[in-house]
């Protein structure tokens, strides 16, 4: 693991004091409300202050639906002051049609 970065599952942070949900408000958009209600899990990524991550971080979301479905993937990316990172997010669907209601919050 590279120093200066923290990666967690959103579910692991339940009940802890985090900024998750501070940017995307349910009352501002129906799709945000849908994501907040049905997001099963997601990724929390934080780059600590004054750190430069030397390589890109690639987040890949893979859906392998056997029936047409709705998925609500979610990420919260917190880049603290004077930190630098390159992040790519890629979506791969295998199988049936999937409606992806992706929510990404980025705090810097």
Averaged pLDDT, groups of 10, the chain, 108 residues long: 85 72 78 82 91 94 88 90 95 88 86
- What's the pLDDT score for residue 19? 65
pLDDT score at 1: 67
* Per-residue pLDDT, 104: 87
- The whole model's pTM is what? 0.80
Cβ contact 36:69 at 8 Å: no
Output the pLDDT for position 25.
Answer: 75
Least Cα distance to 46 among 18, 17, 11 occurs for 18
Domain ranges of the chain: 5-107
Q: How far are the Cα atoms of 62, 83, 86, 90 from residue 107, in angstroms, in the given order?
A: 24, 12, 14, 20
Q: What is the DSSP string of 32-84?
A: HHHHHHH----EEEEE-TT-B-SS-EEEEEEEEESS-EEE--EEEEEE-TT-B
């Amino acid at each position: 693991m590279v120093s200066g970065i923290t990666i967690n599952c959103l579910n692991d942070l339940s009940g802890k004091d985090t900024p998750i949900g501070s940017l995307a408000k349910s009352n501002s958009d129906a799709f945000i409300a849908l994501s907040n209600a049905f997001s099963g899990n997601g990724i929390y990524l934080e780059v600590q202050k004054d750190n430069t991550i030397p390589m890109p971080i690639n987040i890949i979301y893979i859906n392998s639906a056997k029936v047409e479905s709705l998925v609500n993937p979610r990420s919260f990316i917190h880049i603290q002051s004077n930190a630098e990172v390159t992040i790519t997010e890629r979506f791969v669907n295998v199988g049936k049609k999937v409606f992806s209601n992706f929510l990404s919050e980025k705090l810097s």
